[in-house]
Every structure is written in C-alpha cells, then in structure tokens.
C-alpha cells in the first residue's frame, strides 16, 4: 500500500494529519506543494474522484485574497484546475491518497477514523 499526503508543511491541518498518521504507525510519503508543485495529473484524478468544489478552499486566506473577478471565474473543473495549479494554497489540505484513491480532503477526527479503517483493511 502506498499512502501519500499532499499539502504544505507549515499548514496546521497538515501538521495534525501527519502527526496523527505518525501516531498510528502509518508509513506515508509527503508531497510538498511549495517545493514540488501541484501534481497536475493527480489534480485531474482528485477532481474526478471528489469534485473541484471539495478541493477549492473558499474559506482560506489565499481564496479571500484573490481578486473578485478571479473568484467569479471559478465556475467549473477546468477553471478550478487552472486556479489550483497557479495558487497551490487554495487547495484544501491535506489531500490523503491510498494507492491513488482519495481517502480524505482536509482533516478531522471523523476523516481520521475512515483513514484508519482503510489502513487496517
């Protein structure tokens, strides 16, 4: 099994997720958007699996700082993908994948329980 966590290392939610996975003894790789960029091929897969609406974090600082015209232009998967490739920080974090399947976007206790169940399966 290949567990992959995508995000930004200084994000508090990503830190919580990584700490939780470490506490579970889960081996995972970390993909840092800031250093490695957003993987465009994976972004297509994420959009197909969970939808662009889930991936675009409209509550975050990056979104709030965008020009209103840019925000208004995010109306479908293609426009959302373009925005996420240009502004990695607008992607809700972390995105946790197991063998290419998105297990979680964001992190909380309920999502953690689902991830744990999949890891133990």
Q: Could you confirm whether 11 is annotated as catalytic?
A: yes
Residue 8 tokens read as 């930004």
**Residue of 3, 5, 11, 17 marked catalytic:** 11
Helices (H), the chain: 12-23, 33-36, 40-50, 52-55, 61-65, 68-72, 77-86, 109-120
Half-sphere exposure of 29 (CA within 13 A, CB side): 11
Which residues are part of the catalytic machinery?
11
């Amino acid at each position: 099994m290949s567990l992959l966590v995508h995000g930004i290392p200084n994000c508090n939610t990503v830190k919580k997720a990584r700490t939780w996975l470490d506490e579970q003894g889960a081996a995972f790789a970390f993909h840092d958007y800031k250093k490695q960029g957003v993987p465009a091929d994976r972004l297509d897969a994420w959009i197909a699996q969970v939808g662009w609406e889930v991936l675009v974090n409209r509550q975050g600082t990056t979104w709030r700082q965008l020009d209103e015209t840019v925000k208004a232009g995010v109306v479908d998967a293609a426009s959302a993908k373009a925005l996420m490739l240009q502004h990695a920080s607008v992607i809700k974090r972390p995105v946790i994948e197991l063998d290419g399947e998105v297990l979680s976007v964001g992190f909380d206790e309920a999502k953690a329980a689902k991830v744990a169940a999949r890891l133990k399966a």
